[in-house]
Structure 1
Amino acid sequence: MKVSSTTQLIALALTYWLYFGQLGVLVPYLGIFLDGRGFSSAEIGELFAVITLARIVGPALWAHIADKTGNSLQVLRLGCLLTVVCFASVFFMSGFWGLTLAFGLMMMFWTAVLPQLEVITMQSVAGTRASYGQIRLWGSIGFIVLTVALGKALDHFSTDVPVYASIVVLTCLLLASLLLRQPPLPDTHKPDGGNLWQWVRRRPFIIFLLSATLLQVSFGAYYGFFALYMLDLDYSGQQTGLLIALGVVAEIGIFLIAGRLIARVGVWHLLMLCMVLTALRWYALADYAHLGWVVVASQLIHALSFGLTHAASVHFIHHFFPQTFHSRGQAVYISVAFGLGGAVGNYLAGQFWQQGAQAYETFAFAAATAFAGALVLLGCSKSRLNV
């Protein structure tokens, strides 16, 4: 392997570490930060919903720009820069709408980073002995390290810790992006396979997308209130961080064998299994979260709830869409499932939560929604999803 290739792969691993490390800093603990600022659970859910809406518009917009310019790296760097600038405004905002605007703009530019990073990584590993999984693995490690570190820090410092740590990590991410280089562009003189809409409106994709969206709606309770829920049940900040990290460790394990599972079992069966077990996971948290072993078991299921469903979904999109629509097909999936589904899930979780008084109802609703996602899959034959 050439030194230049090695340097590029190290820079990519560092970028993944920081990108997902930032998710480990902010996503689990943003609710705690907002609670410390005096926001009600309804306001927290509404703020999460508004900023998540940026994930509807952002991915498609940035994918279009990257496709038009043919330079994913410049789009990635611009996204990193504007993310830092917008996030810095959090230190000057205190009210609901001010923080909503700051986090919303940050999320809008944040959505430019990962899709371009994935494209650059896939292009960079081609012709080397490295694989995508070996590079992506560092993102999960970064998430684990910073999630645990922030959980420990919350035991000793104020609830403003997540935003101070975030600005440091985001600045480092911007600097890491400057170490990357743009791989040679692939051949673009290939038939375009028609137009994107003719593929998006096909029944298998509609069924897949509706099921994926319902799954993300169910995640609203977890992303918005899991950390608060654990603290309400007298788990320490460090224990909460370790529990969140446990889910990511399980996710790493499933990523290592996901390809073989998809080839052997098929997308439809894996998605169905993951949906059903996710429903059981949320119900276990609704009724038995006071039992430590139940919470541990539920976090191990994260390997399926997120890891395996994501791997199977990416596999389906990659094989369902023609090559020229891979990035835009992924953008549709992220925008609708994670953007719209995430926003709806966050908003509803905030309405249900009632400062923790309706924790059972919140996670029970999440369980019902995940199960509905499994039922939707029955509307499509197995063979049409197992592409």
Structure 2
Amino acid sequence: MLPSGHLMWLGLAYLLYFGQLGVLIPYLAMFLDGRGLNSVEIGQLLALITLTRILGPNLWANLADRTGKCLRILQLGCLLATLSFVLIFIADTFWSLTLCFGLVLMFWTAIMPQMEVITLNSVAGDSHRYSQIRLWGSLGFILLTILAGRLIDWFGTEVLILICAAVLIGLLLVSLRLSEPQSLPDDTPHTGTIWRRIVTPVFLGFILAMCLLQVGFGPYNSFFTLYMKDLGYSGLQTGLLLSLGVVAEILIFLKAGRLIQRFGIKHILLFSLVLTLIRWLLLAYLAFYPGILILSQCIHAASFGLTHAAAIQFIHRFFGRRFQSRGQALYVSLAGGLGGALGNFAAGLLWQQGQGATEAFTAAALILAVATLVVALLPKEQLEARQPVG
């Protein structure tokens, strides 16, 4: 286990990493709208760049597992993402913006899987300590989301690329202060390949459910800020709403480890998916009520906080230390990459410059119903096991 000073640098890395997401995820559609793209083009661009999360994480994780240099891969990803981001300052067409953001995201995918592996090894797999470090990411998301919302009100959407460039540089500098944790004994047999684990029914069912969850997030991730703008909310008010969701996420992360230990991965996932389904229905039909918006943002504690904590624990237990980088990468690429791309693309088709908002969120709720059914059919003992079945 690393000294507390190194854990502090890990916390700061999470803060900056998720702070960057706090700018890009909520406001990228608004930035692209300011550059003149319509809702279909925005959905297509977001889908295309999200596809890089399918190839990227597996490429970097395979290199990390083969070399054992997780930290070096993380640092390289930070450097190349920062250098690639400079191109966005001069990009002004659909395809040039797609290429630039695609390059940034390709290198960006090298960061999180390695950071998760380093953190989990640093805390010896302790879910409670992991959640405490992960809280810094939520704080970063809140701070940058509110700051970006206020700066958009003052300076317009172009200010976003200045914020992102500054955060990327900060993350690169922090990554240089991180240390590789001491190697721990492998807890899995050295026979077999990762493919034997991937093709087990429990993993396929789990990854299908997580993929569907991300498909359901499509309208929210792509168009929530534009939705709030259409409803008459300012950039600051939208930032505060987004931050409320992350505050709820922080509060649940404080208890996530203990909740998973008490109720198990399956029950946590079922509870979270059902609440997320309700959340999308609230946004579809009752979003004009401020109280409903506040309630829906509080449900983010389950939609993201609990599902993420449970998913990370499942991956960590299921793949063991031998395949953990590639296991994390598979989760990121298939759930976040494929699921996110499909969700963004479908949301772009349904949104129709805001006229199809109700249909988009209703479709998201139906997708969550399918995800809930998939998890309900998975055997609880296999989801909780530290070794794969088969």
Alignment of structure 1 residues 361-372 onto 2, 5 Å: 361-372=359-370
- Report the aligned-residue RMSD: 1.9
Residue of structure 1 aligned with 2:241, choices 240, 243, 247:
243
Q: CA deviation at 1:6?
A: 3.6
Secondary structure of 1:290's match?
coil
C-alpha distance after superposition, 1:106-133 (max 9, x if no partner): 00100111111122223334599x9322
Residue of structure 1 aligned with 2:23, choices 22, 25, 31:
25
Contact 1:193–1:322 (CA under 8 A) maintained in structure 2: no
Distance 1:9 1:261 in 2: 23
Q: CA deviation at 1:193?
A: 4.3
Residue identity opposite 2:137 in structure 1: G
Segments ≥4 residues shifted beyond 4 Å: 187-190
Alignment of structure 1 residues 1-387 onto 2, 5 Å: 5-126=3-124, 131-187=129-185, 191-387=189-385
Contact 1:51–1:104 (CA under 8 A) maintained in structure 2: yes
Change (3 A) 1:250 1:190: closer
C-alpha distance after superposition, 1:283-306 (max 9, x if no partner): 100111100010110011111011
Residue identity opposite 1:212 in structure 2: M
Distance 1:263 1:182 in 2: 28
Distance 2:133 2:375 in 1: 32
Distance 1:165 1:281 in 2: 30
Contact 2:252–2:306 (CA under 8 A) maintained in structure 1: yes
Secondary structure of 2:155's match?
coil
Distance 1:254 1:24 in 2: 18
Q: CA deviation at 1:319?
A: 2.2
Contact 2:65–2:323 (CA under 8 A) maintained in structure 1: no
What stretches of structure 2 of length at least 5 have no aligned partner? 386-390
Residue identity opposite 1:291 in structure 2: Y
Change (3 A) 1:126 1:376: closer
Residue identity opposite 2:150 in structure 1: K
Secondary structure of 2:372's match?
helix
Change (3 A) 1:193 1:300: farther
Change (3 A) 1:275 1:334: same
Distance 2:266 2:184 in 1: 31
Q: CA deviation at 1:43?
A: 0.4
Contact 2:276–2:299 (CA under 8 A) maintained in structure 1: yes
Structure 1 length as normaliser, TM-score?
0.95
Change (3 A) 1:256 1:116: same
Distance 1:72 1:322 in 2: 16
Aligned residues: 384
Distance 1:146 1:189 in 2: 39
Residue identity opposite 1:302 in structure 2: H
C-alpha distance after superposition, 1:251-309 (max 9, x if no partner): 11111111221122222222112111111100100111100010110011111011101
Residue identity opposite 1:305 in structure 2: S
What stretches of structure 1 of length at least 5 have no aligned partner? none
Q: CA deviation at 1:41?
A: 0.2
Distance 1:220 1:190 in 2: 36
Residue identity opposite 2:262 in structure 1: R
Secondary structure of 2:285's match?
helix
Q: CA deviation at 1:367?
A: 0.8
Distance 2:123 2:4 in 1: 10
Contact 1:193–1:324 (CA under 8 A) maintained in structure 2: no
Q: CA deviation at 1:383?
A: 3.0
Distance 1:218 1:40 in 2: 21
Contact 2:277–2:368 (CA under 8 A) maintained in structure 1: yes
Q: CA deviation at 1:184?
A: 2.9
Distance 1:313 1:361 in 2: 29
Distance 2:281 2:198 in 1: 33
C-alpha distance after superposition, 1:51-90 (max 9, x if no partner): 1001111111111111122111111111001001111100
